[in-house]
Amino acid sequence: MVILHTFISEKKHQKLLDTYLDTFSDDFKNSVLRYKRWQDAQLSLLGRVLLQYGLRTYYDISDVVVDRLSNHKPFLKGQKLHFNISHSKNLVVCAIAEFPIGIDVEFKDTAVNYLDFQFQMTNNEFQKIHDSEDKTDGFFKYWTYKEAVIKAHGSGMMIPLESFEVIDDKCFLDGQIFFTKEIFIDHDYYSCIASDDEMIKSVKGIFEQVSLG
């Protein structure tokens, strides 16, 4: 497993577009250029750049096609590897693994009030966060765990967050068991990975901050 990350930069934006955009398909290029905010365009672009870099550097794969399953989850066509991309605020991460994987990162926004999200929690989850000494910390850990599971499952927003619970780094969803693991990427962000493969609990992985542009 390889987990790569980088940070967006307005100063480098045009150079990043000039350097990397033409290395992708016209469909992806157009999807990046449709964004009105430079932040959104760069987050989308750098997620794929990290994937490209990781496949080439750690798996000796230089040419790959990203396709989508019927549930719209992206996958690597013709490869046994799996990947997932997440971004929040100024951080972009890409996880590549030999097993299905979901990853989620969230910026530590102290302005977020966990009470605003109570309807998206089970009673047990809400009570656990409410009783915790640091409620912001408790909320974001809950959020990243559940988002990572949903991304590992692949059905996106079709699954309500309150419909399942993560207990002791494990949960049941649609008849499958998913395992979660909190990881560290940056002090200002919470992050978690998830998979239906129990290997995720023991694999250490390679972590790299990638300098681009």
Domain ranges of the chain: 2-209
Q: What are the pLDDT tens digits along the chain (213 aa)?
A: 999 999 999 999 999 999 999 999 999 999 999 999 999 999 999 999 999 999 999 999 988 888 777 667 788 888 899 999 999 999 999 999 999 999 999 999 999 999 999 999 999 999 999 999 999 999 999 999 999 999 999 876 678 889 999 999 999 998 899 999 999 999 999 999 999 999 999 998 999 999 987
- In CATH, 2-209 is 3.40.50.620: no
- The pTM is what? 0.93
**176 — phi, psi (to 5°)?**
-110, 155
Distance between CA 43 and CA 52 in Å, rounded?
A: 14
Distance between CA 213 and CA 204 in Å, rounded?
A: 28
175: left (phi over 0), alpha (psi -120 to 50) or beta: left
Distance between CA 77 and CA 127 in Å, rounded?
A: 43
